[in-house]
A and B are shown apart, each in its own frame.
Chain A
């Protein structure tokens, strides 16, 4: 695969091009060897190689070796989206002792092999790699901008994720502000009774976590408070906090009110209506809400005995009693039907969209186990109550959860399986039947037999939906998935990082998680944030404006066009013995947007790493392709 090529001009860039198979993701549709053969003939390309996985250790080692032995001094990697591995390859170059900004990334997976096939895919990949090589030839080493980072983190959300993250950050010596919009700490976990499959009391966990947070001297808790403003950048955010109910906590006593959570003692950390907070990192732990069935969905809102699972759990916790029959709201329950996948795994064309035309097509992952836990508990504590579980699939995926399924079956829970296009129908029972409701279900476990299940109570296993954080999404420019959960940079490689530097995500605002997974995510986010802040500074990419004072005539058009006041100024300087005005950039303030570039009449200003000339070279290469370029 190696095609070394001597370069006649020792001062000319020596470009190394590395093309990834991505294990077939790319090479199943792009002939990567054909691309390599075309590219290695381009002027300036010293070597072109392919590798099954460029991101693997051997792939990165090949780049490092070429850099270290002087074969190349510019690097182009053609692989997946830059959001995944641009940083990987820059770091590999840095470790090899070279400047990481002599690197250009080409996306031939998401934007080629996954959307085009056959010869056109190969031709387009070659054009894009040629364009990247053309740009790489114009790249120059750059120095990152180092800015001090505020040694402070803010956690938004006081549920189990937020509490865990705040505690872990403080344990690493990072002062923390915990912002919770309600009066209570504990979030949705505080609404649960016992956690499956271990049987621990949720309130015990909340008490332990909230206690650790409230007692820690480096954690300021802002309850009844929302973030209403966010400016700045990684290491230097400026948040505006607003208290929603200024008097709610003043003078309040410690008040443990299950199932709503732990209400802190004494005044909130927010002494004023609005508080300005300087912070270095932000962890979003804004949590979830339980799906609210629409009126008429499995009889919800039409028949009083139709409850959601969270409502059943709350009632069982509040109305604990002993006896052969479960009692809910004073009514003995002889038979309960529990319907799974309500508001989860919804299918277009089968399920009804909400008022905004949305369906929850994802699995909420926790409801099967939570439902089985409730069913098993009813059978154990109230053996006179019959329990029917009506399900599509049982997904008890975690440690010990399958055991719960088997235990429920052994304890007499009856399972009926339905197809998504044959959903159970909940109707009022005939008065002669003696039950409030009946559920008609076609059971695929019994060869499609249609059964009428009598029930005094119907429980809907409702799924998770992310809390509405559209204000934060807007404010912080955060990406949101089609499922409306916050979208991390990469689910495996950077699972708790948001694309906006310095902002992390933890818990069920990201996806449906159980309590253990939520704590794992919170711990990971806390460690990431602490690692970043412990250094005391952060390095920013040097993609900011740079003035060529030899060309600058000081006409000030760039200053006028600049979108961030203060980033560009006209200053006096001595050139050839004369005092002249020239533009000067303040790198830490420059946004790198390039608004100045377009207006300069003498082309004296450009954005480092993405100059106008580099874009022009890319367009030239796209128009000409690699075959034409080799004749240049």
Chain B
């Protein structure tokens, strides 16, 4: 796990699709369900936009964890989800080569009403980054 986390404040980045996961996060807010405040949600049309280096740069800048919240098979852009999954596979390979804990990057599908799934994902990622940091990988 080598130079795993150089995070400053354990910040977690969520790339949330505008048609599924972002309104899903809003739904969590409408339910007033709390989650850690170190979770930062960026609205994206489709995360397939981001090249491999974007994720690696984020880690290098100090982002502790990244959750790609896609629409999964429900993606309105036919073929985007599979292209994204293939790209993240390549990112994982690079992360392994650079001894970055691959659990810090997660691909998941969140729908507009997936409140529980959203909370599970962000809480699990938060536990992970806290564990990695307290274990001395910060």
Q: Which residues of A contact B (CB under 8 A)?
A: 81-83, 107, 109-111, 114-117, 120-121, 123-124, 127-128, 131, 477, 479-482, 487, 499, 543, 561, 563, 591-595, 597-599, 607, 610, 612, 615-616, 618-620, 622-623
Contact = CB atoms under 8 A, between A and B. Distances in A.
18 contacts: A107-B26, A109-B29, A115-B32, A124-B40, A487-B112, A499-B19, A499-B23, A593-B49, A593-B77, A594-B48, A594-B49, A594-B50, A595-B79, A595-B83, A598-B50, A607-B45, A612-B51, A615-B42
A461 to B, nearest CB: 28
Contacts of B54: 612, 615-616
B37 A595 contact: no
B77 A563 contact: yes
Interface string B1-31: 0000000100101000001000101101110
- Give the interface residue-count category, chain B: 35 or more
Given A593-B49, A598-B48, A623-B61, A563 B80 contact: yes
Interface of B: 8, 11, 13, 19, 23, 25-26, 28-30, 32-35, 37-38, 40-46, 48-52, 54, 57-58, 61-63, 74, 76-80, 83, 87, 112-113
B23 A619 contact: no
Please classify the interface of chain A as helix (H, G, I), strand (E, B), loop, or mixed, using the class held by over half of its residues: helix
A561 B49 CA distance: 11
B28 A607 contact: no
Contact of B23 (A83, A599, A607, A616): A83
B13 A594 contact: no
Given A123-B37, A623-B61, A598 B23 contact: no
A116 B34 contact: yes
Nearest to B50: A598
A178 B131 CA distance: 59
B25 A619 contact: no
Contacts of A124: 37-38, 40
Contacts of B50: 594, 597-598, 612, 615
B8 A623 contact: yes
A541 to B, nearest CB: 10
A607 B13 CA distance: 21
Contact of A593 (B26, B35, B45): B45
A251 B46 CA distance: 51
A109 B29 CA distance: 8
Nearest to B19: A477
A111 B41 contact: yes
B113 A591 contact: no
B40 to A, nearest CB: 5
B28 A115 contact: yes
B45 A115 contact: no
A436 B104 CA distance: 66
A142 B75 CA distance: 26
Contact of B62 (A109, A480, A593, A623): A623
A597 B8 contact: no
A179 B57 CA distance: 52
A256 B46 CA distance: 51
B49 A622 contact: no
A593 B44 CA distance: 9
Given A477-B76, A623-B11, A114 B32 contact: yes
Contact of A479 (B13, B23, B35, B57): B23
A615 B48 CA distance: 13
A115 B83 contact: no
A111 B36 CA distance: 11
Contact of A128 (B19, B40, B48, B52): B40
A398 B41 CA distance: 42
A123 B36 CA distance: 12
A620 B113 CA distance: 30
Contact of B26 (A81, A116, A127, A618): A81
A470 to B, nearest CB: 12
Contacts of A616: 54, 57
